[in-house]
Amino acid sequence: MEDVSALEDAPAQDSSFEEDARSRAAPRGGVQMVDVSARGDATRTALAAGRVRIGEEAFRQIEQETLKKGDALTVAQIAGITGAKLTSRLVPLCHSVQINGVDVELSLSEEEEDFAVKVRAFAKSTGPTGVEMEALTAVNVAALTVYDMCKSVTKEIEITDVRLLAQTGGQDGDYRREE
């Protein structure tokens, strides 16, 4: 067992650092990871979405499964799931979350000469903190993977409209984006 005597002798946090359970304020010039140890476990969900505008040629190659790198939608789906699982390693102050489930869906969207891949990610966990960062990371990593898969066809690729659509189980109550 590690020697914890140094912790026992450590000074108490100064009062300027005290915070209520909702505060995210860190000491001036500093950062902190919010302590969620006093929170109870709750089932938490999050839904996020985004778009990747890829142009007609890349769109057709995805549709016909003729991209040089292979099946962009399947690879991006796997990448999004992996991204959700690695969120706390990518975002420095994000808590590590025990993810119970992640679902990433990609679909082709052809609307008025706007050729895009729509990305949606749903994440679920039971714990003291939410999974919105995991859902948002899944969308972003899936979108970046679509970019990578299509960049040999065109450089005119744009990742847009990444946003949280809904969240449940948080201490601030449920959230649903109005569109």
DSSP secondary structure of 80-114:
HHHHHHTHHHHSTTPPP--EEEEEEEEEEEEETTE
Beta carbons of 115 and 54 less than 8 angstroms apart = yes
pLDDT of res. 82? 98
Q: What domains can you pick out in the chain, each with its CATH number?
A: 51-166 (3.30.70.640)
Percent of the chain residues past pLDDT 70, beyond the cut: 85
Maximal CA-CA distance, the chain:
67
| Tokens coding 156 | 């005119």
Q: Which pLDDT tens digit goes with each residue over 42-65?
A: 999 999 999 999 999 999 999 999
pLDDT averaged over every residue in the chain: 88
pLDDT grade, residue 25 (50/70/90)?
low
Higher pLDDT, 6 or 173: 173
Tokens 């950062």 map to which residue?
31
pLDDT grade, residue 16 (50/70/90)?
very low
Catalytic residues: 148
Beta carbons of 123 and 145 less than 8 angstroms apart = no
Q: Which pLDDT tens digit goes with each residue over 115-129?
A: 999 999 999 999 989
Q: How far apart are CA 14 and CA 7, in angstroms?
A: 15
In the predicted model, is pLDDT for residue 15 greater than 50? no
